[in-house]
A and B are shown apart, each in its own frame.
Chain A
Amino acid sequence: MAVSLSKGGNVSLTKEAPGLTAIDVGLGWDARVTDGSAFDLDASAFLLNEGGKVRSDADFIFYNNKTSADGSIVHQGDNQTGSGDGDDEVVSINLSNVPADVLKVAFSVTIHEAEARKQNFGQVANAYIRVVNKADGKEIARYDLSEDYSTETAMIFGEIYRNGGEWKFKAIGQGFADGLGPLAKNFGVNIG
């Protein structure tokens, strides 16, 4: 039985799934059923050091940079409409290969061309983040954001982080008003 988190809540992935070595972080939302521009949501991951910043721009994993330098984190690709069953975007992480100086991986979702399309998370239904054990496909933890957003266009959905010898997952649900750029800058990425 997966742990369902609310905003700010956390769970030990290592305790929930002993022997855990690799996870899929799935992000999902409902495709737009009304007329108008589709909701194209993009998932990104940030590999963060002790200071909560990326070590270099290469630690910003997104649709134009799908694999981390060490190969431990792989973005599985962009779903541009939110249609289809299951997760809309997946980031795979081989926990045992994550470099030791990476203490945290934050997962964000941004709305592509939010301003031009006049879209925000308050218009997107049933957004969630979940962590799945790659070994058996079982869901370990889930966070449904539903009400924890409104007019934001970029959100940090959740993060995994080291806590002693274990990996934990925390539900964040923090919004940024101006999209992926400011959010990435917040983590120390140089946005040109």
Chain B
Amino acid sequence: MAVVVLTPGANVGIPECSRILVAVGWEPKSVAGMEIDASVFMVKADGKVPDDGYFVFYGAQSSPDGSVRFLPSPPTGFASDVQAFEVEPGKVSADVESIDVCVTLHEGQVRGQSFGSLTGVFARLVDPSSGHEVARFDLPVAGMKETAITLAKVYRRNGQWKIRAVGQGFVGGLAPLARQYGVDVADDASTPPPVQEKPAPPPPPPAPKPVSLTKVTLEKRGQSVSLEKKAGEGFGEIVFNLNWNQRPEKKGGFLGRILGGNKGIDLDLGCLWELEDGDKGVIQALGEAWGEYRSEPFIRHAGDDRTGAIAQGENIRINGDKLSKIKRILVFAFIYEGVPNWAAADGVATVKVPGQHDIEVRLDNPASGQGMCAIALIENDKGKLKVTKEEQYFRGHLDMDKAYRWGLRWVAGSKN
């Protein structure tokens, strides 16, 4: 059977089958400093997702109806492809009219990249049982300024599934693309997990808030999530917890000594803060700068809290009801003594906001030799609480301050 080559706007019927594969790829496959992700939005007749679960990507690899699965790497024999989606048309939820396959460039605009920077982007419709290519669409990338593109739509038409080549998108990236599909994400995020609060139900009766069993993980540097407060309420007490493996196992003795030594790893949690009125400063154990919770800067290190009420590790409490006074907070961890071994520390930061999903930031890109790690940036984004994964490593306070243009004056200090 001949392959149908689609041009933008063209469509073709898909032969009936229980399973199809939509493979996506680009050339060159890997460019230094460029991150490309494929994602799928499953939308109703109005072009919007039924709910955020119908946004399928590496962070949420299966749709709620079980019909679409994200394959981070293509099956064997599909060497040209980079990522793929397996679709079972028979399982697609009845209200889903179209499965839109998209590609996005992570932080493309910030990094001055666009799909025009590539030599090719394509989508292929493949019959997984035979490996035969049914249809193919090569996006004309030349001159494209977009950083987020809907490549193709797999859609219902009179009881049949069809595929249409689209090739339209947004210069601004994933955020406007996702908004078009009714998924609200924070700007400049690559593939942020959507955690919008649903609009409050009309009172009475007040619906009890369901216990959340899920947490949101910010996987990539620069990825962020924004939380909205409920009408008439603040965010309450926000706790930033850092936990780490304080006594790493000495695997194989010799290696263990090189890696971690016999001493436990001593991480200190701290933060740089800046208020809306321009005041700024640092909170950390060093110099016993613990901060204040009820008065400015409305941030307090819980390092002296030995009540046991707080989770393991170290904690910083942020007065979320005073978020309007706060501009930004850069939470960092510092290794004062010994060889900075972030890999062995295996740090995990969790931001706990009452009534919201926990937000987890793992330090999973450890850099050796740098004692300072900027973990996450917490910002007051027009009343929303925006948390961005940073995980940037620096030699010390001064370098970090410079990188984030905080503008504090630093003098050398010692914990003792």
Do A and B interact?
A: yes
Q: Decide: B180 and A35 in contact? CB cutoff 8 A.
A: no
Which residues from chain A contact B10 at a C-beta distance below 8 Å? 122, 150-151
Q: Does A116 belong to the interface (CB within 8 Å)?
A: no
Also in contact, A122 and B8, with CB within 8 A (given A34-B180, A147-B157): yes
Q: Does B336 belong to the interface (CB within 8 Å)?
A: no
Would you give the shortest CB distance from A1 to chain B, in whole angstroms? 20
Q: Does A190 belong to the interface (CB within 8 Å)?
A: no
Q: Decide: B11 and A34 in contact? CB cutoff 8 A.
A: no
Q: Decide: A35 and B145 in contact? CB cutoff 8 A.
A: yes
Q: For the complex, what is the distance from the CA of A173 to the CA of B158, rounded to whole Å?
A: 17
Q: Decide: A147 and B11 in contact? CB cutoff 8 A.
A: yes
Also in contact, A34 and B145, with CB within 8 A (given A123-B166, A150-B10): no
Q: Does B140 belong to the interface (CB within 8 Å)?
A: yes
Q: Decide: B8 and A120 in contact? CB cutoff 8 A.
A: yes
Complex interface residues of chain B between 2 and 18 (CB less than 8 A to chain A): 7-11
Q: For the complex, what is the distance from the CA of A147 to the CA of B157, rounded to whole Å?
A: 8
Binary flags per residue of B139-153, CB closer than 8 Å to A gives 1, else 0: 010000110001000
Would you give the shortest CB distance from B177 to chain A, in whole angstroms? 8
Q: Decide: B11 and A118 in contact? CB cutoff 8 A.
A: no
Also in contact, A35 and B157, with CB within 8 A (given A120-B8, A123-B9): no
Q: Which of A34, A121, A122 contacts B170 (CB 8 A)?
A: A34
Q: Which of A35, A120, A122, A147 contacts B146 (CB 8 A)?
A: A35
Q: Does A36 belong to the interface (CB within 8 Å)?
A: yes
Which residues from chain A contact B162 at a C-beta distance below 8 Å? 147
Which residues from chain B contact A191 at a C-beta distance below 8 Å? none
Q: Decide: B166 and A35 in contact? CB cutoff 8 A.
A: no
Also in contact, A35 and B8, with CB within 8 A (given A118-B140, A122-B164): no
Q: Decide: B169 and A34 in contact? CB cutoff 8 A.
A: yes
Binary flags per residue of A141-154, CB closer than 8 Å to B gives 1, else 0: 00000010011000
Which residues from chain B contact A33 at a C-beta distance below 8 Å? 180
Which residues from chain A contact B171 at a C-beta distance below 8 Å? 35
Would you give the shortest CB distance from A142 to chain B, in whole angstroms? 17
Instruction: Count residues of A near B (Cβ-Cβ below 8 Å).
Output: 14
Q: Decide: A118 and B170 in contact? CB cutoff 8 A.
A: no
Which residues from chain B contact A34 at a C-beta distance below 8 Å? 146, 150, 168-170, 180
Which residues from chain B contact A32 at a C-beta distance below 8 Å? 168
Q: For the complex, what is the distance from the CA of A118 to the CA of B171, rounded to whole Å?
A: 17
Complex interface residues of chain A between 110 and 135 (CB less than 8 A to chain B): 118-123
Q: Which of A35, A36, A119, A150 contacts B11 (CB 8 A)?
A: A150
Q: Which of A33, A35, A119, A121 has the most CB of B within 10 A?
A: A35
Which residues from chain B contact A150 at a C-beta distance below 8 Å? 9-11
Complex interface residues of chain B between 119 and 178 (CB less than 8 A to chain A): 140, 145-146, 150, 157, 162, 164-172, 176
Q: Decide: A122 and B180 in contact? CB cutoff 8 A.
A: no
Q: For the complex, what is the distance from the CA of A185 to the CA of B172, rounded to whole Å?
A: 42
Would you give the shortest CB distance from B139 to chain A, in whole angstroms? 11
Which residues from chain A contact B164 at a C-beta distance below 8 Å? 122
Q: Which of B7, B165, B170 contacts A35 (CB 8 A)?
A: B170
Which residues from chain B contact A122 at a C-beta distance below 8 Å? 8-11, 164-165
Which residues from chain A contact B8 at a C-beta distance below 8 Å? 118, 120, 122-123
Q: For the complex, what is the distance from the CA of A35 to the CA of B168, rounded to whole Å?
A: 7
Chain A residues near B (Cβ < 8 Å): 32-36, 118-123, 147, 150-151
